[in-house]
Chains A and B, each alone.
Chain A
Amino acid sequence: MEVHNIKVKFTEVYEKESDPLFRYCLMRVSDRDKAIDIVQDIFAELWKTYNTSEEIKNERAYLFTLARNKIIDWYRKKKSYSLDALLETEDTERPFDSPDEKAHPDIIFSAEAGRVLEAIEKLDPTYRDVLYLRFTEDLSPQEIASVLGSTASIVSVRITRGLEKLREQFHT
């Protein structure tokens, strides 16, 4: 592929997927700046991949898989940093970036969105990612399976059960 064509294709994908990826990252890391950093890393990797002529079969699944892995890396780094901070402060002072901070503290949502996110956070982790990717980012079960390293049938079952559990929370 020529450089010009690569850039055109990349721009198309960027326009289409940058917001969903940003939302996904923001929901997970609860920090707008950090979410922007992760999105930038993801697209930098996509740009490199395009320039090495490697073929990507499903861009959406590929990008969300990258996002998920980068978020996991971020949590790992954050955890080790927080543990170091805890040791240094010798329990006399609470570290700034403690691991038990509440989710989404700095993001302003509508009351309904906040309630949905709160309900999703209360769910078992098995259903959390699946429901989020399905209903807010409109990923197909096949794409979600590809992101989570599972099968489409398992994802479908988890969507159905997770939705039931989510509705239960809204009815109680």
Chain B
Amino acid sequence: MEDILNKGIQDIKNISLSMKEKKLIFEQVMKTPLASPYAPTRTIWSLLNMHRSFAYALGIFLIFSITGGTLAYAAEGTVPGDLLYPVKVNVTEPIRDVLATTPASKAQWDATKAVRRLNEAETLANKNKLTPEYRAEIEQNFNKNVNAFNKNIQSVATSTRVRNNIDSFFDESINEHANILQKISSHKIGGEQHEIDTLEQAVLHAHQIQSFPMGPNTKDHSFNTASSSKEIIKHPIAPRFSIQNPTHRDGEDIRSTNTIKNVQATSSEDMPDEDR
């Protein structure tokens, strides 16, 4: 049997082209048209050589892209006082503002930005670097983000889950950060504690407007998130208001009487009949 296998293999090896076929193939191959060595080759480098202005434009574009991308990436983790912080708030975030096209994505991004501000404040507070200037800057930006959030969330359809999801995200995040700020504040003394408390008031105020109604004077900030979310669902089109810097704290309601009236009145009007 092994002989058959070996002989079979040997016979296959003996199959070959005839001399005539071999010669014919060779002749045909030699007639194959070849590209002239003098013909210009069109590569990206030759194009760049031909169009110098295009090369410069491409070079500049690449330099800006790479440098800009690196800067933007490096700026993401910065806090007020860092060299690249202005890049974060004045360049990368506005770019992402433009990229968010739908009301829902805008609202979500505004909520995320507000949370980013609180993260920055917490980072600074933990490093004992939350100066009045940085606190004021963060608070101003935070209020701006919350106002933008309140404005954009109004445009999101109330019949979709998206709105409830964004509301819940904002509500829970703000609640969580209020608690964190409170904890940080309890470990601080003097001026630094005052700065954290002031910021905490702004956060608290944003949360109160978000999950109306909540008493503003309580020192216990462990809000019931579930009830807050429930409140949002119950009042799906509850209006939101611009935040004024809440500067009072000790025993004084930080919301104006008119604001409370507005909220109560509109909420009552918008509630379904069976809920009134």
Q: Give me the interface of A with B, judged by CB distance under 8 Å.
A: 11, 14, 18-19, 22-23, 26-27, 36, 39-40, 43-44, 47-48, 51-52, 107, 109-110, 112-117, 135-136, 166-167, 170-171
In the complex, the 9 A-B pairs of residues with the closest C-beta atoms, listed nearest first: A116-B8, A113-B11, A112-B8, A19-B16, A112-B7, A110-B11, A170-B1, A44-B32, A43-B29
Most buried by B among A14, A19, A110, A113: A113
- What's the dominant secondary structure at chain A's contact region? helix
Most buried by A among B4, B29, B34: B29
CA distance A167 to B2 in the complex (A): 8
Residues of B within 8 Å of A44, CB to CB, are 28-29, 32
Shortest Cβ distance from B33 into chain A, in angstroms? 9
Inter-subunit contact B25/A39 (CB<8 Å): yes
Q: Does B274 sit within 8 A of A, measured CB to CB?
A: no
Inter-subunit contact A14/B35 (CB<8 Å): no
Give the residue of A11, A19, A116, A167 whose beta carbon is less than 8 angstroms from that of B9.
A116
Q: Give me the interface of B with A, judged by CB distance under 8 Å.
A: 1-2, 4-5, 7-9, 11-13, 15-17, 21-22, 25-26, 28-30, 32, 34-35
Residues of B within 8 Å of A166, CB to CB, are 5
Q: List 19 A-B contacts (CB under 8 A).
A: A14-B29, A19-B17, A22-B17, A23-B12, A26-B15, A39-B17, A47-B32, A48-B32, A48-B34, A48-B35, A109-B15, A110-B7, A110-B11, A113-B7, A115-B8, A116-B4, A117-B8, A136-B13, A170-B4
Residues of A within 8 Å of B9, CB to CB, are 113, 116, 135-136
Give the residue of B2, B12, B17, B34 whose beta carbon is less than 8 angstroms from that of A36.
B17
CA distance A117 to B1 in the complex (A): 15
Known A23-B12, A52-B35, A109-B11; contact A40-B25, beta-carbon cutoff 8 A: yes
Known: A40-B29, A136-B13. 19 other contacts (CB 8 A): A11-B26, A14-B29, A18-B22, A19-B16, A22-B15, A22-B17, A36-B21, A40-B25, A40-B28, A43-B25, A43-B26, A47-B30, A48-B32, A109-B15, A115-B8, A136-B12, A166-B5, A170-B1, A170-B2
CA distance A143 to B264 in the complex (A): 83
Closest to B34 in A: A51
Closest to B9 in A: A135
Inter-subunit contact A109/B17 (CB<8 Å): no
Shortest Cβ distance from B7 into chain A, in angstroms? 4
Inter-subunit contact B11/A112 (CB<8 Å): yes
Most buried by A among B9, B12, B28, B34: B12
Inter-subunit contact A113/B8 (CB<8 Å): yes
CA distance A71 to B34 in the complex (A): 24
CA distance A168 to B28 in the complex (A): 44
Residues of B within 8 Å of A11, CB to CB, are 26
Residues of B within 8 Å of A113, CB to CB, are 7-9, 11-12
Closest to B16 in A: A19
Inter-subunit contact B11/A170 (CB<8 Å): no
Inter-subunit contact B25/A116 (CB<8 Å): no
CA distance A110 to B15 in the complex (A): 11
Residues of A within 8 Å of B26, CB to CB, are 11, 14, 43
